[in-house]
Structure 1
């Protein structure tokens, strides 16, 4: 394949549209949820959730440096997007470093074992958490996020982050308080949209790999290209109608993304068509995974990501449990 095309051919108009949609959609959605009309409120919730989703995937693009040629401008754009989606408590450079390490080392990183934590909790608290997850409220994702936010207060090597995090908590807390003073209903709708973002992001993220989770700081196993592609899956919205995948900024073309991680989002469907036939076993559309996401919503907390390919090399959804959490927005 002509890697120079994918590395250097940037569609600036596509990038501008995505960024403008995210910023404009976010602002417009806030205005809509402040109104008294139910249908406009509903539209605002959907628009806000989708704007937050796209901000997350743009954060990912900025981490890979695919939007701007200079690193500093990618950092600026990444920080703006992280501010919108709440990933801003971790430094952009730290999130970038962790995510690129995921590509290079071909593993997932875990700061702690969620199953061990759950088993150590009092039964009453554990049952509340499991009940909320059973109802598809992403409480475990919030546990990951809040643990990451407060980790610098008990991890000495991250104590230099404490002042920054306190400032962010105060500023964002004041902004949410201001929204509440204008309308408690709007604040509730904002959180509803945010929860919607988390659910969509972790649904997509759950079924893109069957990597093993390695505790941070542990010796890294040696994994090759074959392992990477065999344990990576392209969970696109549709293989037939490629343009539907733009709703998630082409994030579903994950095998192509791991083939060439500097390929911009707008060209991933082209790269995917060039290097794959479309018949590979790694294709599994998101509609097919809805059942797995629902069925294993509790099991995946206590297990690994499962196995998606059987010994005959065929897709086996019955044992594809999926991961939990949103990996590239939380500092592990």
Structure 2
């Protein structure tokens, strides 16, 4: 078949994408089946399956946002709208997520509609609550960011058009979990555990991938300051946070999202090609590589200071392999605000 007529953007995409799609469907459906079952050991398996199905779904949304999944833009949009329900982020439109993430690449910055850090500093009691949860490894800040996606249409006039969508999604999701709870009430505490695991994985992959500044320019046109950040700046302030150097297959646990420098250099390259491209372009001695064994120490050590942290650009994070690299919270591509 001619590539121009194919469903997928890349001619070698059929098998890897079929496997990824099938994996999401099976782990999501059977995750709920196991969560709704009687034995506790099945519940545990179900929670892990649900969490990981959401992780893979999220990174396929990321693929679609770059149009590296399907050839037709509408197919990327329709598929992502389905996956947004899987990831529990259907309160956002795909276009909002795509716009925010594209601005991240174009402006070479973490672009948001508002920076939560000054707001937290103005409300010390709320900040203490957030810190307490974060100390206990509960991603309260990420929960708040996702909650704001629901609330902002009722606060910001520029988001007013999203109100009907948010209310509709909220009603449907409440009805869905009401139905599941009628089968097993345990879903009301097991699913949140799966979701917290999902948020934690997404956060871990996000916090150390850049030493970018945060700009409150998402609802504005691209400013002239963005033009000052060139490709050299982008590469020097982007990091590939690999789960494993020795066993590349381990990085499939996050759909190869950890090969971040390759992604920034060639955004249309699909997820399954990134390990080979990384080896060809950089190799394992690349200065911008950070590894799991070092980053997990930083993730643990700075889980509370990270709340208010904003990394300076050109930070020499490799001086101790990233163990003192605090990183930045609240920059998920799934929270379109």
Question: Which residue among 236, 239, 244 is the counterpart of 1:230?
Answer: 236
Distance in 1 (alpha carbons) for counterparts of 2:299 and 2:312: 13
1:190: how far off?
A: 0.8
Tell me the residue number matched to 1:210. 211
Question: Which residue among 296, 300, 317 is the counterpart of 1:294?
Answer: 300
Distance in 1 (alpha carbons) for counterparts of 2:265 and 2:336: 24
Length-normalised TM-score, structure 2: 0.91
Q: CA RMSD in A?
A: 1.8
Secondary structure of residue in 1 paired with 2:111? strand
Secondary structure of residue in 2 paired with 1:208? coil
Tell me the residue number matched to 1:329. 334
Deviations 1:238-266 (A, max 9, x none): 11211111111000000000010110001
Segment of structure 1 superposing worse, 222-231 or 318-327? 318-327
Distance in 2 (alpha carbons) for counterparts of 1:164 and 1:84: 17
1:308: how far off?
A: 7.4
Distance in 2 (alpha carbons) for counterparts of 1:316 and 1:41: 38
Distance in 2 (alpha carbons) for counterparts of 1:316 and 1:13: 36
Distance in 2 (alpha carbons) for counterparts of 1:30 and 1:111: 35
Secondary structure of residue in 2 paired with 1:284? strand
Say if 2:186 is the partner of 1:180: no
1:113: how far off?
A: 2.6
Segment of structure 1 superposing worse, 248-257 or 170-179? 170-179
Query: What are the equivalent positions in structure 2 for 1:156-171 lying under 5 Å apart?
Result: 156-171=157-172
Question: Which residue among 68, 73, 76 is the counterpart of 2:75?
Answer: 73
Aligned residues: 324
Say if 2:234 is the partner of 1:259: no
1:110: how far off?
A: 2.5
Tell me the residue number matched to 2:322. 317
Distance in 1 (alpha carbons) for counterparts of 2:199 and 2:283: 32
Distance in 2 (alpha carbons) for counterparts of 1:135 and 1:287: 21
Distance in 1 (alpha carbons) for counterparts of 2:315 and 2:328: 16
Say if 2:42 is the partner of 1:40: yes
Distance in 2 (alpha carbons) for counterparts of 1:126 and 1:314: 31
Distance in 1 (alpha carbons) for counterparts of 2:191 and 2:279: 38
Change (3 A) 1:193 1:308: farther
Tell me the residue number matched to 1:3. none
Distance in 2 (alpha carbons) for counterparts of 1:270 and 1:155: 44
Length-normalised TM-score, structure 1: 0.93
Secondary structure of residue in 2 paired with 1:251? coil
Question: Which residue among 232, 241, 247 is the counterpart of 2:247?
Answer: 241
1:126: how far off?
A: 2.8
Query: What are the equivalent positions in structure 2 for 1:80-229 lying under 5 Å apart?
Result: 80-123=82-125, 125-216=126-217, 217=220, 219=223, 220-221=225-226, 222-229=228-235
1:314: how far off?
A: 4.4
1:310: how far off?
A: 2.9
Q: Is the 8 A contact 1:308 1:315 kept in 2?
A: no
Q: Is the 8 A contact 2:241 2:290 kept in 1?
A: yes
1:315: how far off?
A: 5.3
Change (3 A) 1:66 1:194: same
Secondary structure of residue in 2 paired with 1:57? helix
Distance in 1 (alpha carbons) for counterparts of 2:314 and 2:29: 40
Deviations 1:143-176 (A, max 9, x none): 1111122111121122111111110111111111
Distance in 2 (alpha carbons) for counterparts of 1:201 and 1:214: 21
Structure 2 unaligned residues grouped into runs of 5+: 1-8
Q: Is the 8 A contact 1:308 1:320 kept in 2?
A: no
Distance in 1 (alpha carbons) for counterparts of 2:320 and 2:71: 39
Distance in 1 (alpha carbons) for counterparts of 2:291 and 2:314: 13
Tell me the residue number matched to 1:4. none
Q: Is the 8 A contact 2:115 2:214 kept in 1?
A: no
